[in-house]
Amino acid sequence: MASEGPEPILIAFCCNWCSYAGADLAGISRLQYPSDVRIIRVMCSGMVHPNLVIDALTKGADGVLMCGCHPGDCHYLEGNVCAANRKEAIELMLEDFGIEPERFRMEWVSASEGPRFAEVVQEMSDALRELGPSPYKVEAA
């Protein structure tokens, strides 16, 4: 994964029912947030396997953001609980791969929280800029 400039690449896995709708609301509301985010819509945050996160980071993404419904609001009842449990496994895997823990973040964002989505993306993008490029980043030729 190569970037086209100094901007970090941020992969955001967003659940279909809340977080993706929150990202959509941010766009519809014309809220400003970094364009370095690549949003991947998943049906539920609980479907994001830790290997997806690690694969993204080891293939050159500078960071991964996983967004889901607030606890108690999951369309699939407990998918976000599953995602929260996987967060611990992901953090252990990051350590094994020598990846800074700040390169992964999990947030709950509802469909009505467009401003919150924009704020979270801005915060993570700023943090990634401070960290510098991923050690796994492949530079464009």
Q: Which of 128, 113, 105, 106 is nearest to 18 (CA)?
A: 113
pLDDT value of residue 66: 98
Does 138 reside within a domain?
Answer: no
Q: Is residue 5 part of a domain?
A: no
Question: Model confidence over 11-34: pLDDT tens digits?
Answer: 999 999 999 999 999 999 999 999
The range of the structural domain enclosing residue 34 comes to: 10-131
Angle at 105 between CA 56 and CA 19, to 5 degrees: 90
Classify residue 136: in a domain, yes or no: no
Give 107-138 pLDDT, tens digit per residue: 999 999 999 999 999 999 999 999 999 988 87
User: Residue 4: what pLDDT?
Assistant: 52
Give domain status of residue 4, yes or no: no
Q: What percent of the chain has pLDDT over 70?
A: 93
pLDDT tens digit sequence for 67-98: 999 999 999 999 999 999 999 999 999 999 99
Domain for residue 2, yes or no? no
The CATH number that applies at residue 61 is 3.40.50
Residue 17 lies in a domain: yes
User: Is the per-residue pLDDT at 6 higher than 90?
Assistant: no
Domain count, the chain: 1
The region, left, alpha or beta by phi > 0 then psi within -120 to 50, assigned to residue 98 is left
* 125 falls within a domain: yes
Is 36 a domain residue?
Answer: yes
